[in-house]
Amino acid sequence: MAEMKYVKELLSTATGVEGSLLIVRKIHDVLIQEVMKILIPRTEAAFVVGPANIPGSSYDIDLETPNTLKVRTIAEGADITLDNQQYTTINVKPIKYGVGLRITTEMLEDAKWNLLERNLEIAGRRFAENENSLVLQQLDTAANTVTGGASFTIANLTRGMQYLEDNDFTPTTIVVGNEVMNDLRNIDTFVEADKLGTTEMLSTGVVGRLYGMNVIRFSTNAAPSTTYAKYAYVFDNRQAYCIVEKRPMSVEKFDLPNNDLSAAVVTQRIAVKVLRTQAICNITTS
């Protein structure tokens, strides 16, 4: 009788605990997945070299040195000056990246979804984010730098473009961190329809092209550090950097019977290499 009275007290005083016998707890049937990060697409690389074109452990790239063959005035009867174009070679050696996964058989049996497959999917995203970070690190080697103030300005942008044009490159792309994108959204020239000519910024939150350049925002969480939110890079995507991939992301599954584990290793051999530092301008804000 005392036990029944205690249960009645719980019901009347609302001291029941969620998930107990008194209050039913429903578990959502679908996993709420993490959002996909915005990354710099591979199309912005000058070229991507795959495994079939890398017979050894590294890859050599030959570059012409700009402005190294000159035409000169020759006096009548004088020897004609000899000159020739010069070249440089860079060597790119892909680096191995990887992660190992171990899932107990009990977890595979009891979990609400396939943990091994889900972890492999997330690993694939992390490799893509790592590549994004490698690209940004190479863009950091830019020979040209514009140091802005507290906010990104049109003058910062056009000065960065001029640096490239001074060296005969064509600005094709600007990639921006989140804070720089926020500054762009607050520049009335890119917002007001009577100045921009469209309502693109108001309707989509981003202007897809500025001064003939593709505008690409990258996730701060896929950058080497959070300070990259303050950075922007203007570059010529035909000359700036390349991607050399000796081994695409590869998955090898196996079992560990002694430990009753299902396992997998995920690896990739890749390198991102700058081609011409003069084809890139790094714009920073404080």
- Tell whether 75 is covered by a domain: no
Residue 169 · residue 278 · CB < 8 Å: yes
Q: Percent of the chain having pLDDT more than 70?
A: 84
Number of structural domains found in the chain: 1
For 120-188, the DSSP string reads HHHHHHHHHHHHHHHHHHHHTT-SEEEE--SS--HHHHHHHHHHHHHTT----EEEE-HHHHHHHHT-G
**pLDDT tens-digit readout, 27-82:** 666 778 889 999 999 999 999 999 999 999 999 999 999 999 999 999 999 999 99
- Tell whether 111 is covered by a domain: yes
Joined tokens for residue 97:
């990246």
259 is in which domain, residue-wise?
42-66+85-284
**pLDDT tens-digit readout, 199-247:** 565 555 566 788 899 999 999 999 999 999 999 999 999 999 999 999 9
- Tell whether 94 is covered by a domain: yes
DSSP state for residue 23 in the 8-state scheme: B
- Tell whether 34 is covered by a domain: no
- Tell whether 154 is covered by a domain: yes
Joined tokens for residue 132:
């994004």
- Tell whether 141 is covered by a domain: yes
User: Cα–Cα distance between 280 and 136 in angstroms, integer?
Assistant: 11
- Tell whether 31 is covered by a domain: no
φ/ψ of residue 50, rounded to 5 = -95, 175
For 254-286, the DSSP string reads EEEGGGTEEEEEEEEEEEEEES-GGGEEEEE--
Nearest alpha-carbon partner for 283 in 121, 149, 84:
149
Write the CB contacts of 239 (distance below 8 Å, at least 6 apart in sequence).
Answer: 46, 169, 275, 276, 279
Average model confidence (pLDDT) across the chain = 88
Q: Residue 140 above 80 pLDDT?
A: yes
Joined tokens for residue 283:
């714009």
Q: Tell me the pTM.
A: 0.85
**pLDDT tens-digit readout, 9-33:** 544 555 555 555 566 666 666 778 8
- Domain with residue 138: its CATH number is 3.90.1690.10
- Tell whether 78 is covered by a domain: no
